[in-house]
Amino acid sequence: MPAPPALPALNIGPYAVRPAVALAPMAGITDKPFRQLCRDFGAGWAVSEMIISDPALQHTRKTLHRTDHAGESGVIAVQIAGSDPAQMAAAAQYNVARGAQVIDINMGCPAKKVCNVAAGSALLQNEALVGDILRAVVQAVDVPVTLKTRLGWSDDHKNIRTIARLAEDAGIAALAIHGRTRTQMYRGAAEYDLIAEVKQQIRIPLWVNGDINSPHKAAAVLAHTGADGVMIGRGAQGQPWLFGDIRHYLQHGRLPAPLSFQAASAQVLAHIAAMHDFYGEYTGVRTARKHIGWYLAALPDGDAARRELNGIDSAAGQYDRLAAFLQQCGQQYSHWPCAWRIS
Ligand SMILES: Cc1cc2nc3c(=O)[nH]c(=O)nc-3n(C[C@H](O)[C@H](O)[C@H](O)COP(=O)(O)O)c2cc1C
Protein backbone atom coordinates (compact mmCIF):
# COMPACT_ATOMS: atom_id res chain seq x y z
CA MET A 1 0.00 0.00 0.00
CA PRO A 2 1.53 3.39 -0.93
CA ALA A 3 2.47 5.73 1.95
CA PRO A 4 -0.06 8.52 2.47
CA PRO A 5 1.08 11.92 1.19
CA ALA A 6 2.56 14.22 3.84
CA LEU A 7 0.65 17.09 5.43
CA PRO A 8 1.93 20.20 3.58
CA ALA A 9 3.62 22.95 5.58
CA LEU A 10 5.28 26.25 4.79
CA ASN A 11 6.57 29.34 6.55
CA ILE A 12 5.60 32.93 5.82
CA GLY A 13 8.20 35.05 7.56
CA PRO A 14 7.99 34.02 11.24
CA TYR A 15 4.65 32.25 10.80
CA ALA A 16 4.60 28.48 10.50
CA VAL A 17 1.58 27.51 8.42
CA ARG A 18 0.39 24.02 9.42
CA PRO A 19 -1.34 22.65 7.45
CA ALA A 20 -0.56 24.66 4.31
CA VAL A 21 -4.18 24.49 3.22
CA ALA A 22 -5.52 28.02 2.72
CA LEU A 23 -8.77 29.81 2.09
CA ALA A 24 -8.23 32.07 -0.97
CA PRO A 25 -9.32 35.70 -0.75
CA MET A 26 -12.73 36.26 -2.37
CA ALA A 27 -14.24 39.72 -2.30
CA GLY A 28 -17.74 39.66 -0.84
CA ILE A 29 -17.27 36.12 0.50
CA THR A 30 -14.21 35.62 2.69
CA ASP A 31 -15.27 38.07 5.36
CA LYS A 32 -14.35 37.62 9.01
CA PRO A 33 -17.17 35.15 9.83
CA PHE A 34 -16.32 32.90 6.86
CA ARG A 35 -12.57 33.03 7.48
CA GLN A 36 -13.16 32.07 11.10
CA LEU A 37 -15.44 29.19 10.13
CA CYS A 38 -12.89 27.83 7.63
CA ARG A 39 -10.12 28.12 10.20
CA ASP A 40 -12.27 26.27 12.73
CA PHE A 41 -12.64 23.47 10.20
CA GLY A 42 -8.88 23.25 9.67
CA ALA A 43 -7.75 25.90 7.17
CA GLY A 44 -4.20 26.79 8.17
CA TRP A 45 -4.27 30.18 6.47
CA ALA A 46 -6.94 32.66 5.40
CA VAL A 47 -6.52 35.95 3.56
CA SER A 48 -8.92 38.88 3.89
CA GLU A 49 -11.01 40.19 1.02
CA MET A 50 -9.06 42.70 -1.03
CA ILE A 51 -8.91 46.27 0.14
CA ILE A 52 -8.50 48.94 -2.55
CA SER A 53 -5.42 51.03 -1.79
CA ASP A 54 -7.08 54.34 -2.75
CA PRO A 55 -7.30 56.31 0.54
CA ALA A 56 -10.57 57.89 -0.63
CA LEU A 57 -12.19 54.46 -0.12
CA GLN A 58 -10.70 53.76 3.31
CA HIS A 59 -13.71 54.94 5.27
CA THR A 60 -16.55 53.35 3.34
CA ARG A 61 -18.70 50.95 5.32
CA LYS A 62 -17.48 48.09 3.10
CA THR A 63 -13.80 48.84 3.76
CA LEU A 64 -14.42 49.26 7.48
CA HIS A 65 -15.89 45.75 7.59
CA ARG A 66 -13.01 44.42 5.52
CA THR A 67 -10.46 45.94 7.88
CA ASP A 68 -12.19 44.74 11.06
CA HIS A 69 -10.07 41.91 12.47
CA ALA A 70 -11.17 42.16 16.09
CA GLY A 71 -11.18 38.78 17.79
CA GLU A 72 -10.00 36.95 14.67
CA SER A 73 -7.92 33.87 15.42
CA GLY A 74 -4.89 33.02 13.33
CA VAL A 75 -2.49 35.31 11.53
CA ILE A 76 -4.17 38.41 10.08
CA ALA A 77 -3.26 38.48 6.36
CA VAL A 78 -4.75 41.47 4.55
CA GLN A 79 -4.88 41.77 0.80
CA ILE A 80 -4.41 45.12 -0.93
CA ALA A 81 -5.03 46.05 -4.56
CA GLY A 82 -3.89 49.05 -6.57
CA SER A 83 -1.48 50.18 -9.23
CA ASP A 84 0.48 53.06 -7.76
CA PRO A 85 3.60 51.95 -5.84
CA ALA A 86 3.48 54.83 -3.34
CA GLN A 87 -0.24 54.37 -2.73
CA MET A 88 0.20 50.61 -2.30
CA ALA A 89 3.05 51.21 0.17
CA ALA A 90 0.84 53.62 2.12
CA ALA A 91 -2.06 51.15 2.06
CA ALA A 92 0.23 48.45 3.42
CA GLN A 93 1.32 50.73 6.27
CA TYR A 94 -2.29 51.73 6.99
CA ASN A 95 -3.36 48.08 7.24
CA VAL A 96 -0.42 47.08 9.39
CA ALA A 97 -1.39 49.91 11.75
CA ARG A 98 -4.89 48.37 11.86
CA GLY A 99 -3.60 44.92 12.79
CA ALA A 100 -2.39 43.24 9.59
CA GLN A 101 0.43 40.80 10.37
CA VAL A 102 0.98 39.95 6.70
CA ILE A 103 0.25 42.02 3.59
CA ASP A 104 -0.86 40.19 0.46
CA ILE A 105 -0.69 41.96 -2.90
CA ASN A 106 -3.45 41.22 -5.39
CA MET A 107 -2.24 40.77 -8.94
CA GLY A 108 -4.74 38.10 -9.77
CA CYS A 109 -8.16 39.67 -9.79
CA PRO A 110 -9.70 40.00 -13.25
CA ALA A 111 -12.63 42.15 -12.05
CA LYS A 112 -13.29 45.13 -14.35
CA LYS A 113 -13.52 47.42 -11.36
CA VAL A 114 -9.94 46.49 -10.50
CA CYS A 115 -8.50 46.03 -14.00
CA ASN A 116 -9.80 49.28 -15.44
CA VAL A 117 -7.56 51.15 -13.09
CA ALA A 118 -4.68 48.87 -14.07
CA ALA A 119 -4.66 46.95 -10.81
CA GLY A 120 -5.28 43.24 -10.12
CA SER A 121 -4.17 41.03 -12.99
CA ALA A 122 -3.96 43.99 -15.43
CA LEU A 123 -0.62 44.76 -13.80
CA LEU A 124 0.83 41.62 -15.35
CA GLN A 125 1.13 43.54 -18.62
CA ASN A 126 3.63 45.92 -17.09
CA GLU A 127 6.51 44.01 -15.53
CA ALA A 128 8.51 47.12 -14.60
CA LEU A 129 5.53 48.42 -12.63
CA VAL A 130 5.10 45.01 -10.96
CA GLY A 131 8.69 45.20 -9.73
CA ASP A 132 8.20 48.78 -8.51
CA ILE A 133 5.06 47.89 -6.55
CA LEU A 134 6.58 44.78 -4.97
CA ARG A 135 9.71 46.62 -3.85
CA ALA A 136 7.75 49.64 -2.59
CA VAL A 137 5.43 47.52 -0.46
CA VAL A 138 8.16 45.22 0.89
CA GLN A 139 10.25 48.23 1.91
CA ALA A 140 7.31 50.08 3.47
CA VAL A 141 6.41 47.55 6.17
CA ASP A 142 8.16 45.29 8.66
CA VAL A 143 5.73 42.41 8.18
CA PRO A 144 6.01 39.69 5.51
CA VAL A 145 4.53 40.60 2.11
CA THR A 146 3.05 37.90 -0.12
CA LEU A 147 1.87 38.02 -3.73
CA LYS A 148 -1.17 36.42 -5.36
CA THR A 149 -1.25 36.28 -9.12
CA ARG A 150 -2.16 34.32 -12.27
CA LEU A 151 -0.16 32.59 -15.02
CA GLY A 152 -0.12 35.81 -17.01
CA TRP A 153 -2.28 38.13 -19.04
CA SER A 154 -3.37 35.82 -21.87
CA ASP A 155 -2.49 32.52 -23.52
CA ASP A 156 0.19 34.33 -25.54
CA HIS A 157 1.45 36.21 -22.58
CA LYS A 158 2.12 33.82 -19.73
CA ASN A 159 4.86 35.68 -17.91
CA ILE A 160 4.57 34.00 -14.51
CA ARG A 161 8.24 32.89 -14.63
CA THR A 162 9.32 36.53 -14.87
CA ILE A 163 6.80 37.65 -12.24
CA ALA A 164 7.99 34.91 -9.87
CA ARG A 165 11.60 36.03 -10.30
CA LEU A 166 10.63 39.65 -9.67
CA ALA A 167 8.75 38.56 -6.56
CA GLU A 168 11.67 36.61 -5.17
CA ASP A 169 14.13 39.42 -5.90
CA ALA A 170 11.85 41.98 -4.24
CA GLY A 171 11.72 39.98 -1.00
CA ILE A 172 8.22 38.56 -1.32
CA ALA A 173 7.68 35.94 1.42
CA ALA A 174 5.34 33.58 -0.45
CA LEU A 175 3.72 33.38 -3.87
CA ALA A 176 0.23 32.12 -4.73
CA ILE A 177 -0.50 31.25 -8.37
CA HIS A 178 -3.97 30.72 -9.80
CA GLY A 179 -3.54 28.42 -12.81
CA ARG A 180 -5.41 30.66 -15.26
CA THR A 181 -4.64 33.80 -17.23
CA ARG A 182 -6.46 37.11 -16.97
CA THR A 183 -8.33 36.67 -20.24
CA GLN A 184 -9.55 33.25 -19.11
CA MET A 185 -11.33 34.95 -16.18
CA TYR A 186 -12.76 31.82 -14.50
CA ARG A 187 -13.40 29.87 -17.71
CA GLY A 188 -11.80 26.59 -18.74
CA ALA A 189 -9.83 24.44 -16.37
CA ALA A 190 -6.95 25.60 -14.21
CA GLU A 191 -3.61 24.45 -15.58
CA TYR A 192 -0.84 23.31 -13.29
CA ASP A 193 2.17 22.46 -15.52
CA LEU A 194 3.56 25.96 -15.51
CA ILE A 195 3.08 26.20 -11.76
CA ALA A 196 5.20 23.05 -11.43
CA GLU A 197 7.89 24.75 -13.50
CA VAL A 198 7.83 27.87 -11.36
CA LYS A 199 8.20 25.70 -8.25
CA GLN A 200 11.47 24.39 -9.67
CA GLN A 201 12.66 27.93 -10.26
CA ILE A 202 11.99 29.67 -6.93
CA ARG A 203 13.02 29.17 -3.33
CA ILE A 204 10.14 31.06 -1.68
CA PRO A 205 7.03 29.08 -0.60
CA LEU A 206 4.46 28.51 -3.32
CA TRP A 207 0.69 28.12 -3.04
CA VAL A 208 -1.10 26.44 -5.92
CA ASN A 209 -4.62 27.68 -6.58
CA GLY A 210 -7.47 26.99 -8.99
CA ASP A 211 -10.27 24.41 -9.17
CA ILE A 212 -9.24 22.48 -6.06
CA ASN A 213 -12.56 21.23 -4.73
CA SER A 214 -11.94 17.88 -3.03
CA PRO A 215 -9.35 16.15 -0.85
CA HIS A 216 -8.35 13.90 -3.77
CA LYS A 217 -7.82 16.88 -6.06
CA ALA A 218 -5.77 18.67 -3.40
CA ALA A 219 -3.47 15.66 -3.06
CA ALA A 220 -3.16 15.26 -6.84
CA VAL A 221 -2.38 18.94 -7.47
CA LEU A 222 0.20 19.02 -4.68
CA ALA A 223 1.88 15.93 -6.12
CA HIS A 224 1.79 17.27 -9.68
CA THR A 225 3.17 20.74 -8.93
CA GLY A 226 5.39 20.10 -5.91
CA ALA A 227 3.80 23.26 -4.45
CA ASP A 228 4.16 23.87 -0.72
CA GLY A 229 0.47 24.40 -0.10
CA VAL A 230 -2.99 24.47 -1.67
CA MET A 231 -5.22 27.54 -1.72
CA ILE A 232 -8.96 27.04 -2.12
CA GLY A 233 -11.61 29.54 -3.13
CA ARG A 234 -14.92 28.46 -4.65
CA GLY A 235 -14.51 24.87 -3.45
CA ALA A 236 -15.10 26.09 0.11
CA GLN A 237 -18.39 27.80 -0.70
CA GLY A 238 -21.20 25.96 1.04
CA GLN A 239 -18.80 23.32 2.39
CA PRO A 240 -16.23 24.81 4.78
CA TRP A 241 -15.71 21.28 6.15
CA LEU A 242 -13.65 20.68 3.01
CA PHE A 243 -10.64 21.98 4.95
CA GLY A 244 -10.96 19.36 7.65
CA ASP A 245 -11.41 16.61 5.07
CA ILE A 246 -8.35 17.76 3.09
CA ARG A 247 -6.26 17.99 6.21
CA HIS A 248 -7.22 14.48 7.29
CA TYR A 249 -6.83 13.02 3.81
CA LEU A 250 -3.35 14.49 3.34
CA GLN A 251 -2.28 13.30 6.75
CA HIS A 252 -3.76 9.80 6.72
CA GLY A 253 -4.43 8.99 3.08
CA ARG A 254 -8.16 8.47 3.73
CA LEU A 255 -11.21 10.57 4.50
CA PRO A 256 -12.30 11.16 8.10
CA ALA A 257 -15.72 9.98 9.29
CA PRO A 258 -18.29 12.35 7.80
CA LEU A 259 -19.76 15.13 9.90
CA SER A 260 -23.26 14.28 11.10
CA PHE A 261 -26.08 16.25 9.50
CA GLN A 262 -26.86 17.72 12.89
CA ALA A 263 -23.29 18.92 13.46
CA ALA A 264 -23.08 20.41 9.96
CA SER A 265 -26.45 22.16 10.42
CA ALA A 266 -25.31 23.64 13.72
CA GLN A 267 -22.21 25.06 11.98
CA VAL A 268 -24.30 26.46 9.13
CA LEU A 269 -26.68 28.18 11.53
CA ALA A 270 -23.80 29.55 13.62
CA HIS A 271 -22.28 30.94 10.42
CA ILE A 272 -25.52 32.73 9.52
CA ALA A 273 -25.84 34.14 13.04
CA ALA A 274 -22.21 35.32 12.93
CA MET A 275 -22.94 37.24 9.70
CA HIS A 276 -25.98 38.89 11.29
CA ASP A 277 -23.79 39.94 14.24
CA PHE A 278 -20.93 41.15 12.12
CA TYR A 279 -22.85 43.20 9.55
CA GLY A 280 -26.04 44.05 11.40
CA GLU A 281 -29.47 43.00 10.22
CA TYR A 282 -29.79 44.74 6.83
CA THR A 283 -26.44 43.77 5.29
CA GLY A 284 -26.15 40.59 7.33
CA VAL A 285 -29.34 39.09 5.90
CA ARG A 286 -28.35 40.02 2.35
CA THR A 287 -24.78 38.76 2.69
CA ALA A 288 -26.02 35.53 4.24
CA ARG A 289 -28.29 34.80 1.25
CA LYS A 290 -25.47 33.75 -1.06
CA HIS A 291 -23.93 31.46 1.57
CA ILE A 292 -27.36 29.95 2.28
CA GLY A 293 -27.74 29.35 -1.47
CA TRP A 294 -24.45 27.46 -1.56
CA TYR A 295 -25.30 25.40 1.51
CA LEU A 296 -28.74 24.50 0.22
CA ALA A 297 -27.46 23.57 -3.24
CA ALA A 298 -26.37 20.23 -1.76
CA LEU A 299 -29.82 19.40 -0.38
CA PRO A 300 -32.95 18.07 -2.09
CA ASP A 301 -35.62 20.77 -2.21
CA GLY A 302 -32.82 23.19 -1.41
CA ASP A 303 -33.65 25.31 -4.41
CA ALA A 304 -37.25 25.92 -3.37
CA ALA A 305 -36.12 26.65 0.19
CA ARG A 306 -33.50 29.09 -1.09
CA ARG A 307 -36.10 31.00 -3.13
CA GLU A 308 -38.36 31.23 -0.13
CA LEU A 309 -35.50 32.36 2.13
CA ASN A 310 -34.49 35.05 -0.37
CA GLY A 311 -37.83 36.73 0.28
CA ILE A 312 -37.19 37.09 4.02
CA ASP A 313 -35.72 40.40 5.20
CA SER A 314 -35.41 39.94 8.96
CA ALA A 315 -32.47 38.22 10.64
CA ALA A 316 -34.66 36.22 13.01
CA GLY A 317 -36.97 35.17 10.16
CA GLN A 318 -34.06 34.05 7.99
CA TYR A 319 -32.43 32.10 10.80
CA ASP A 320 -35.64 30.44 12.01
CA ARG A 321 -36.82 29.40 8.54
CA LEU A 322 -33.41 27.96 7.71
CA ALA A 323 -33.29 26.13 11.06
CA ALA A 324 -36.73 24.61 10.39
CA PHE A 325 -35.72 23.50 6.90
CA LEU A 326 -32.51 21.91 8.16
CA GLN A 327 -34.37 20.14 10.93
CA GLN A 328 -36.75 18.69 8.38
CA CYS A 329 -33.81 17.50 6.21
CA GLY A 330 -32.19 16.03 9.32
CA GLN A 331 -35.00 13.48 9.51
CA GLN A 332 -33.91 12.18 6.13
CA TYR A 333 -30.11 12.46 6.32
CA SER A 334 -27.57 11.23 8.79
CA HIS A 335 -24.77 13.17 7.00
CA TRP A 336 -24.61 16.33 4.92
CA PRO A 337 -24.50 15.22 1.24
CA CYS A 338 -20.97 15.70 -0.01
CA ALA A 339 -19.72 15.42 -3.60
CA TRP A 340 -16.31 13.91 -2.84
CA ARG A 341 -17.84 11.17 -0.69
CA ILE A 342 -20.30 10.06 -3.35
CA SER A 343 -17.91 9.50 -6.26
C1 LIG B 1 -16.36 35.93 -6.16
C2 LIG B 1 -14.86 35.90 -6.20
C3 LIG B 1 -14.15 36.93 -5.62
C4 LIG B 1 -12.75 36.93 -5.67
N5 LIG B 1 -12.06 37.95 -5.07
C6 LIG B 1 -10.70 37.92 -5.06
C7 LIG B 1 -9.95 38.90 -4.34
O8 LIG B 1 -10.50 39.81 -3.70
N9 LIG B 1 -8.61 38.81 -4.38
C10 LIG B 1 -7.95 37.82 -5.08
O11 LIG B 1 -6.73 37.78 -5.09
N12 LIG B 1 -8.64 36.87 -5.74
C13 LIG B 1 -9.98 36.89 -5.72
N14 LIG B 1 -10.67 35.90 -6.33
C15 LIG B 1 -9.93 34.76 -6.95
C16 LIG B 1 -9.77 33.61 -5.95
O17 LIG B 1 -8.95 33.97 -4.89
C18 LIG B 1 -9.13 32.39 -6.65
O19 LIG B 1 -7.87 32.76 -7.15
C20 LIG B 1 -9.97 31.86 -7.80
O21 LIG B 1 -11.34 31.78 -7.47
C22 LIG B 1 -9.48 30.46 -8.25
O23 LIG B 1 -9.50 29.56 -7.18
P24 LIG B 1 -10.73 28.51 -6.96
O25 LIG B 1 -10.89 27.75 -8.25
O26 LIG B 1 -10.30 27.69 -5.82
O27 LIG B 1 -11.95 29.34 -6.69
C28 LIG B 1 -12.06 35.88 -6.31
C29 LIG B 1 -12.79 34.83 -6.87
C30 LIG B 1 -14.17 34.81 -6.81
C31 LIG B 1 -14.93 33.66 -7.42
pLDDT by residue (tens digit) across 25-49?
999 999 999 999 999 999 999 999 8
Instruction: Give the residue, out of 63, 103, 149, 178, with the most ligand 1 atoms within 8 A of its beta carbon, to mutate for a pocket test.
Output: 178
109 tagged catalytic: yes
Q: How far is CA 115 from CA 109, 189, 327, in A?
A: 8, 22, 44
Label residue 231 by pLDDT band (50, 70, 90).
Answer: very high
Q: State the distance from the centre of ligand 1 to the C-alpha of 213, rounded, in angstroms.
A: 13
* For the CA of 209, the nearest atom of ligand 1: 23
Instruction: Give the residue, out of 21, 26, 35, 222, with the most ligand 1 atoms within 8 A of its beta carbon, to mutate for a pocket test.
Output: 26
Q: State the distance from the centre of ligand 1 to the C-alpha of 108, rounded, in angstroms.
A: 8
Nearest to 163 by CA among 155, 154, 172: 172
Give the tens place of pLDDT for each residue, 88-142.
Answer: 999 999 999 989 999 999 986 666 655 555 566 678 889 999 999 999 999 999 9
Is the model more confident about 53 or about 160?
160
Residue nearest to atom 2 of ligand 1 (CA): 26
Give the tens place of pLDDT for each residue, 135-156.
Answer: 999 999 999 999 999 999 888 8
Alpha helices in the chain (DSSP H): 32-40, 61-66, 85-97, 112-115, 127-140, 160-170, 193-201, 215-225, 242-252, 261-279, 281-296, 302-310, 315-330, 339-342
Q: Model-level pTM?
A: 0.94
Q: State the distance from the centre of ligand 1 to the C-alpha of 26, rounded, in angstroms.
A: 5
- Does residue 24 have its Cβ closer than 6 Å to ligand 1? yes
Quick one: fold of 10-252?
TIM Barrel (3.20.20)
Residue 22's pLDDT is 98
Instruction: Map out the domains of the chain as residue ranges.
Output: 10-252, 261-330
Question: Mutual orientation of helices 302-310 and 315-330 as an angle, nearest 10°?
Answer: 170
User: 334 pLDDT exceeds 60?
Assistant: yes
